[in-house]
A = this chain, B = another copy of it.
């Protein structure tokens, strides 16, 4: 039996997981691919580090050329992370006719379109299942399983760290800072949690999902992003009272061939399956014209889940190499990018404000909504203990982003309104 030779670039958490799977599931992998897979060399940044669990006979190097220049290596697995170095490495590999499997969402969100084009020119496969939602096979579900359908919306819980934090805030009433600290101690959150809690990590995955689902080359700057740093426990409590759960979701939606992209804390209706996705789990909810609604749920990160996605990609590429059909992927976008203007991005909204607790307040507030032609689904008014103020919470029917903006401005200008405290988009229930 021939063997396919792999150059593994990166031997951190995921890299070690890839080594583990290639050895421990060897028999199954050989049966399914008809080929042995051999790790020919491993690129590491620090040769002096002790490597537990790396089988004997695997050559470690800190020189990129040892991997790129080795003509016997058919396939590069890039799990070292970072953007610039990984970009140069993958570009170089593809140009030399080596296939690439990567778990690098940061890279693919920025340079994906270019690298996929280079892969196609060189008849190479470039696969990146692990870069979105870890162990969930969502990329191939979009490109294969739902290939015959037209997807019009994808809503995802795409970041495990923030979902863990929000779950603890909602279920245990704890504060953001408190849970973040715990998540850092447990290793779920980075020492610098910016990319997670500010929504950037999820935004990268929105770019990758939208590009595939709509076959359109969208970019990171097209995603409107809001993180979870400034959530108030009052909103979490009101969400519960009103039948919603607060989640950080990424949304990619298409309507008349124009797309909208966002990441934002969102009120999800409790009877929607996304509302019950807890802790560090991820889920991607897909709306198709023909299939209706499907959801893909699983671990969004972690050593072995991510390695499973990487090695499944490797197995696909190995099959393609054996069959002589590499470089035939339908991952390249077919349509030009067309974004939806924000006055056409519509949603239901939750709005919370503080107002003077006096006659006429309610009339003035509802007037602002009526002037902008937005009606209510639900209203709660509660007296606040101090200062003769009241807190008013409203759930609107569908409104555009422009309408909402005009309403928020109008409310702020009222004498009876002390200030708009917060507003959130609502997903997962009928219009």
Chain A residues with CB under 8 Å of chain B are 17, 20-21, 25, 28-29, 31-32, 129, 135-137, 140-141, 143-150, 215, 271, 273, 276-278, 288-299, 302, 304-305, 307-312, 314-316, 319, 323-325, 328, 330, 334
Contact = CB atoms under 8 A, between A and B. Distances in A.
Contacts of A314: 148
A164 to B, nearest CB: 15
Residue from the set A278, A295, A319 with the largest chain B CB neighbour count within 10 Å: A295
Given A28-B150, A296-B296, A297-B295, A144 B290 contact: no
Contacts of A146: 137, 308, 312
A278 B140 CA distance: 26
Given A32-B147, A148-B25, A273-B297, A305 B292 contact: yes
A148 B292 contact: no
A292 B135 contact: yes
Contacts of A145: 129, 137, 140-141, 309, 312
B311 A148 contact: yes
Contact of A144 (B137, B293, B302, B324): B137
A21 B291 CA distance: 11
Given A290-B304, A294-B299, 14 more contacts: A21-B149, A137-B144, A137-B146, A137-B294, A140-B141, A141-B145, A144-B312, A145-B309, A148-B310, A273-B273, A273-B277, A294-B298, A319-B328, A324-B325
Given A31-B334, A137-B141, A148-B21, A304 B291 contact: yes
A136 B314 CA distance: 24
B296 A150 contact: no
Listed from nearest, the 4 A-B pairs whose CB atoms lie closest are A137-B145, A294-B298, A148-B311, A290-B304
B293 A308 contact: no
Centre residue among A25, A147, A299, A324 by max chain B CB count within 10 A: A147
Contacts of A136: 294
A407 to B, nearest CB: 34
Contacts of A324: 325
A137 B83 CA distance: 33
Of residues A215, A293, A298, which shows the largest number of chain B Cβ atoms within 10 Å of its Cβ?
A298
A315 B276 contact: no
Nearest to A325: B323
A147 B295 contact: no
Contacts of A309: 145
Contacts of A271: 278
A288 B312 CA distance: 13
A288 B273 contact: no
Nearest to A293: B298
A69 B90 CA distance: 50
A121 to B, nearest CB: 17
A324 to B, nearest CB: 8
22 contacts: A21-B148, A25-B149, A25-B290, A32-B147, A129-B145, A137-B144, A140-B140, A140-B141, A141-B141, A144-B144, A144-B316, A146-B312, A148-B307, A148-B311, A290-B305, A291-B305, A294-B297, A295-B297, A296-B296, A297-B297, A319-B328, A323-B328
A267 to B, nearest CB: 18
Contact of A291 (B29, B135, B325): B135
A135 B291 CA distance: 6
Contacts of A304: 289-292
A148 B29 contact: yes
Contacts of A328: 319, 323
Nearest to A297: B295
Q: Which of A215, A296, A299 has the most CB of B within 10 A?
A: A296
Given A32-B330, A147-B315, A299 B295 contact: no
